[in-house]
Amino acid sequence: ADKKARQLAREGNTPLYIADNTCILGLLACADQIKVQTPSAIKTLHQMGKQLIMLTGDHQTTAEAVAARVGMDDVIAEVLPAEK
């Protein structure tokens, strides 16, 4: 299950284990849907010479996958809401 969870995170998902007191019963993957206009907005900002940094509470691996997918320049992950 850990290997599959790491793979899901590398694909931009947040893995969620389903378990009881004795064993893992299943593994789910959750992911935020990227808005249709996001890639063009990012492209426009890059054309304006802006450097784009994504701040997120997501795990580092998941955040890096999403940032790469949408074209962010850098990512800072595992940020608490009060730190944003």
10-residue averages of pLDDT along the chain (84 residues): 90 93 93 91 97 95 93 96 88
pLDDT at 84: 82
56: its two tokens: 């997120």
Cβ–Cβ under 8 Å, residues 48 and 41: no
pTM, rounded to two decimals = 0.77
The single residue listed with the structure tokens 């795990």 is 59
pLDDT at 47: 98
Number of domains in the chain: 1
**Which range of residues forms the domain containing residue 20?**
2-83
Torsion of CA 15, 20, 21, 22, to 10 degrees: -90
pLDDT at 61: 93
Please give the backbone phi and psi of residue 44, each rounded to the nearest 5 degrees, phi first.
-60, -45
